[in-house]
Amino acid sequence: MNETSPVLNVTIDGIQVSVPKGATILEAAERVGVVIPRYCYHPGLSAPAVCRMCLVEVDGAPKPLPSCVQQVQDGMVVHTASAEARKARRAAVEFLLVNHPLDCPICDAAGQCELQDYAFETGQLRTRNIEPKAVLGRDKLTPDILYFADRCVLCTRCVRFMDEIAQEPVLQVIQRGHKGYIDTMTDELFEHPFSMNIVDVCPVGALVNEDFLFKPRAWDLDQTPSICPGCSQGCNVLLGTKENRVLRAKPRPNNEVNSYWMCDHGRQALVNWGAGDRIEVPMIRESGRLAPTDWPQALAALSRTLEARPAGARAIVSAGASNESLYIARKLADKVGFKGGVFRVETGPEAGLPGFPKLRLRAERAPNVRGAELLGFRRSADVLEAIRGHKGVLIVLEDALIDAPEDFGVELEMFIYVGTHMSPAARRADIILPSTTFAEAEGSFTNVEGRVQRFAQALHPPGLARPLWLTGSTALAGLGAGAVYRTAAAAFDALVGEFGEFQGLSYAKLGLGGASVAEAESSAANVS
């Protein structure tokens, strides 16, 4: 939308709004907070105007117009809730319900279903239909997606996602009218790395994720804005949690990163994130055995080690840690004077989405590779090789070293492990401090394009686990090196002050949409 494009004035439900030429009635209405019911319209897809749900009354028009495709004209007066508009919508809902099985009690979409919402809003109490309902049955489309044809409203959002965004048009509407359903050409299941988005775009319960089926009810989930840690893309997500477990992840719209989409790899990685053999209490090795202790004792032990300023200490960090944690790790490193600090990045096959090229499942399967690099850590193909033969103090931060040999660390003078999960290598540590996963504390990641994005806390950390930035800054404060950062915001804002790359950013400024390091750099350059 540039400033030279002509501006049209329209009235929507009595509210004046100015929109650029080419905007549809539906878009104009959204600007003033009027949400027009819709099924086939999706902001990320083309609008075919097939569902007839978004019909509105326009003064001077002979009949209701589909607002998702009808472009506004200057002086247009639109009524979205007039008797005529409501009558049109009521008729659309009545037709959709003719053969709908009304199986909401066993439908996964119940509580987040647009058919439920609009039937409740505009529908009628009893059906006028006395004929038996047509029954179409169900089908399996991908290894994880079930299709319930009877619930389908044939909005074709899934068809258009595969056609326009995935650009692999495997889904089509077969038959017509009440016999219509969505299907692929063959009986074989199709696979696509972004297939699960068709479940998200489905406005009803026709397409459901089998992995999520019958687990929780939608209204029992807590939704927390977060960032997918599955790769360095940093897709904005909403974590659906219940009883302190992540049960699903849905994309959170952000046009700079992932639009309305995310990949299946990320979703699957996020379910039950952080499960496993968690470390819940600090532990210190006493006469050869690990003994649980409390935080004051553990931090005192850590301080004693750091105070000795062990020359030639080494560190392994993680590209899965937040900017704030890595910043504190950097400060620890500088304080103790140990060399560098390495991290590794797991890699996997890439996958793209031709309809939205900005979004890729990146080969680097860690969320904060860029952040770790900006904060002065070195990426190493083999972190174990990088510290081979090291005999002094080793500090391992949030890398469980699951591939380390059985006798890892026997040569080390002192082995400090701050992490989330127990592993055979971690059991060799002299001091073990429990840490949190990204879902258990707030913080931020820097994605592959240098966009710094915040995530909120979705889960309670287990036991006494604390975020690394809190543990580290407490230890540093004990050594008289800086303050204790009690919030991620405080740690991030301190980071901005020390690292020029982040200049111009602040935790508050990042908001929920994030901000780019590059942008901050260029704006900082303009200022100076």
Partner 1 sequence: MSESIHPAVCSAQPSQRADKNPDAPLFEGAYKERFDHILSRYPNKRAALLPVLNMAQELRGWLSPATITRVAELLELTPDYVRSVASFYTMFQLRPVGRHLIQVCIGIGCDLCGAEEVVEDLLEATGTRIGETSRDGKYTVVEVECLGACGFPTVVQVNDKVYENVKPEDVEGLMKELD
Least gap, CB of 464 to partner 1 (angstroms) = 55
Among 5, 175, 272, 522, binds partner 1 (CB under 8 A): 175
* Residue 169 in the binding site for partner 1 (CB under 8 A): yes
Nearer to partner 1, 141 or 426 (CB): 141
Least gap, CB of 170 to partner 1 (angstroms) = 6
DSSP string, 69-120: T-B--TT-EEESSSHHHHHHHHHHHHHHHSS----GGG-TTTTS-HHHHHHH
| Residue among 363, 157, 353 at smallest CA distance from 259 | 353
Give me the helix-helix angle, 83-97 and 114-122, nearest 10°: 130
Among 170, 315, 317, 329, binds partner 1 (CB under 8 A): 170
How many residues bind to partner 1 according to rule CB under 8 A? 11
What's the 3-state SS for 368-391? CHHHHHHCCCEECCCHHHHCCCCC
Among 7, 98, 106, 174, binds partner 1 (CB under 8 A): 174
* Residue 526 in the binding site for partner 1 (CB under 8 A): no
Least gap, CB of 184 to partner 1 (angstroms) = 6
* x-or-dash string of contact with partner 1, 183-222, rule CB under 8 A: -xxx------------------------------------
Among 63, 126, 128, 176, binds partner 1 (CB under 8 A): 176
Residues β-bridged to residue 453: 445
* Residue 173 in the binding site for partner 1 (CB under 8 A): yes
* Residue 167 in the binding site for partner 1 (CB under 8 A): no
CA distance 78 to 71: 12
CA distance 81 to 403: 62
Least gap, CB of 159 to partner 1 (angstroms) = 9
| Residue among 38, 140, 132 at smallest CA distance from 89 | 38
CB 469 within 8 A of CB 315: no
CB 226 within 8 A of CB 238: yes
Nearer to partner 1, 163 or 501 (CB): 163
Residue 385's contacts (CB-CB under 8 Å, 6 or more residues apart) are none
Largest Cα separation within the chain, whole Å, is: 89
- End-to-end alpha carbon distance in the chain: 30
Length of the chain: 528
- E-strand stretches of 99-175: 138-142, 145-148, 172-174
Residues β-bridged to residue 66: 55
Nearer to partner 1, 79 or 157 (CB): 157
Least gap, CB of 172 to partner 1 (angstroms) = 4
CA distance 92 to 434: 56
* Residue 172 in the binding site for partner 1 (CB under 8 A): yes
DSSP string, 43-55: TTS-----S--SE
Nearer to partner 1, 175 or 255 (CB): 175
* Residue 106 in the binding site for partner 1 (CB under 8 A): no
Least gap, CB of 93 to partner 1 (angstroms) = 24
Nearer to partner 1, 112 or 184 (CB): 184
Nearer to partner 1, 3 or 188 (CB): 188
Least gap, CB of 522 to partner 1 (angstroms) = 44
Nearer to partner 1, 22 or 169 (CB): 169
Stretch binding partner 1 (CB under 8 A), from 181-189, 376-384, 401-409, 411-419: 181-189
* Residue 303 in the binding site for partner 1 (CB under 8 A): no
Least gap, CB of 162 to partner 1 (angstroms) = 9
Q: Under the rule (CB under 8 A), what is the footprint of partner 1? A: 169-176, 184-186
